[in-house]
Amino acid sequence: MARKTKEEAYKTRLNILYTALNLFFEKGYARTSLDDIASACGITRGAIYWHFKDKADLFLTLSQQIDEEAKINYNEILENTESLEGLLHEIGNYLVQFEENENYWKFYCLINYKIEWNEELEPVLVQYREELRDLLRVLSQTLGRLKDDGGLRNNIDTDEIALATWAFIEGLLGMWFLDPGIFSLKQTGAKLIGDYLRQFSS
């Protein structure tokens, strides 16, 4: 019986997270209350507090859940990349998530284009900034390792290329979020990024 209760609690937690995602996406974070989420889930506001400290905690947990669902650990992937083609393959896998995982693209569209960053969400914004800096650092280290191994030209600045690569990816995502029918991230997006990075091959 205890195991069933634990499983039910887990299902309730996921239901709260993904219901909140849809409401945040439709109405915006600031205009969505915990009462709205509870009502849409068919539970009480108190039940939400059993799982989450407050709305900001719910939002941060949602971010973690989205990445867990996609089964992507970017730092681990980049640290284990041993060739330029391997790096491009992983970037392609990242882009595929947006076309094949509705929760993934909704969340990242939300945080990049629909969120109202405010004092309540400051801890979340601080974490995202830290994650971005960490991602750029690891991407630069990966490019540096490929340069040291002879796969990339030895006169490149890996910090600059890491920044430009991520800006390229974010730019493609911004266009795709605006109109997903304009091109395929999986095919055209991955090809364009590949064309950009291969120019630095040795």
DSSP state at residue 121: G
Q: Read off the tokens for 87.
A: 């790096």
DSSP code for 118: -
Asked if residue 61 belongs to a domain, the reply is: no
Rounded to an integer, what distance in angstroms lies between the CA atom of residue 114 and that of residue 107?
Answer: 10
Tell whether 6 and 81 lie within a shared domain: no
Q: Is 61 exposed, middle or buried (0-12, 13-18, 19+ CB in 10 A)?
A: middle
Res. 3 pLDDT band, cuts 50 70 90: low
In a domain, 66, yes or no: no
Tell me which of 28, 54, 80 is where a domain ends: 54
pLDDT > 70 in the chain, percent? 97
Residue 93 within any structural domain of the chain: yes
Assigned domain for 65 exists: no
Looking at the structure, do residues 112 and 158 belong to the same domain, yes or no?
yes
Do 40 and 97 have their domain in common?
A: no
Domain extent at residue 8: 1-54
Pairwise CA distance, residues 130 & 170, whole Å:
17
The answer to whether 45 and 35 have CB atoms below 8 angstroms apart is yes
89 in Cβ contact with 54 (< 8 Å): no
- Are residue 163 and residue 114 in the same domain, yes or no? yes
Per-range mean pLDDT, top range of 8-12, 71-75, 143-147: 143-147
Q: Do 181 and 98 share a structural domain?
A: yes
CB-CB contact of 61 with 54 (8 Å): no
Identify whether the C-beta of residue 191 lies closer than 8 Å to the C-beta of residue 159.
no
- Per-residue model confidence as pLDDT tens digits over 176-191: 999 999 999 999 999 9
Is 13 found in the same domain as 91? no
166 assigned to some structural domain? yes
User: Do residues 49 and 128 both lie within one domain?
Assistant: no
State pLDDT tens for residues 54-73.
999 999 999 889 988 877 66
Any domain includes 146? yes
176 and 88, same domain (yes or no)? yes
Whether 178 and 88 map to the same domain: the answer is yes
Kindly state whether residue 187 falls inside one of the protein's structural domains. yes
Query: Side chain identity at 179, as an amino acid letter?
Result: D
Indicate whether 33 and 90 sit together in one domain: no
Say whether 152 sits in a helix, a strand or coil.
strand
Question: What CATH code is carried by the domain that includes residue 34?
Answer: 1.10.10.60
Whether residues 123 and 165 fall in one domain: yes
Question: Which pTM does this prediction carry?
Answer: 0.85
Same domain, 91 and 156: yes
Per-residue DSSP letter, 29:
S
| Residue 27 in domain | yes
Count of domains in the chain?
2
